[in-house]
Amino acid sequence: MTVSETSTPFSETSVESNETVDQATYGLEEQNGQPTLTITEPEERVLFTSREPAVMAVFPPGYLAATGIFGDLVPVDQAGPDYAGLQFILDAVVPFGLSAMYDEAYPINKEFVLDPLDPELSEGWLYDRCTTFLSFYSVSGDTRFLREAYRICAFYSASIRLEGDQRGTFTGTTEPDDKYSHGRGVYGYYALTGDETAFEAGVAIADYFLTDPYVSLLYQ
């Protein structure tokens, strides 16, 4: 019996969700004898189409961080003086996270928008973003990060090979590479949503690493 036979399919409790970016072309031209920045061809671009829960459940402040499901995390507003040396990181969580989502007050230069559907670029764009944005939400409580995490985790889970010799590896790279197989985010995402695609991806990743000579077997 598979997990999908014992629970409501995630497809019935989720909605299609686009990952978008406002982008434009930037240039420099002379206007009235002065070099002037120009912004042309502004557009909202769909980077990829994924899914997210139709109804988003939020959690009490600090709850997810306290569970330890994403590692040893401390919420920004509960850090206290013991973490004073890391205050600059705590202060930067939200602005850095939003920038990583291309959520800026200005359109992004088209030349700097990485395409997650391009195998030449996706590995740099998608390197464990599932865990990263779940962690951002856990420490900040900003629901923009939770929605981002849901879209990315669903997209990532659906991009894990489930058959063949490379079962458990990420399809978004030009060549199968086990360092792009991340179980923590998939596990946490499944715990939060029940997305059976994440369950299957997580099992495939776990099975893959059970026989990986650099991870679980004797390496000399």
What SS3 string covers 156-202? Answer: HHCCECCCCCCCCCECCCCCCCHHHCCHHHHHHHHHHHCCHHHHHHH
pLDDT of residue 218: 62
Which stretches of the chain drop beneath a pLDDT of 70? 1-6, 123-127, 215-220
pLDDT of residue 107: 96
Asked whether residue 190 is domain-assigned, the answer is yes
Range of the domain at 34: 3-210
Asked whether residue 168 is domain-assigned, the answer is yes
pLDDT of residue 1: 46
> Which tokens hold the place of 164?
């063949």
User: What are the percentages of helix, strand and coil residues in the chain, rounded to 5?
Assistant: 45, 20, 35
Asked whether residue 201 is domain-assigned, the answer is yes
Number of domains in the chain: 1
pLDDT of residue 52: 97
Span 9-48, pLDDT tens digits: 999 999 999 999 999 999 999 999 999 999 999 999 999 9
CB-based contact 211:182 (threshold 8 Å):
no
Asked whether residue 26 is domain-assigned, the answer is yes
pLDDT of residue 190: 96
Asked whether residue 217 is domain-assigned, the answer is no
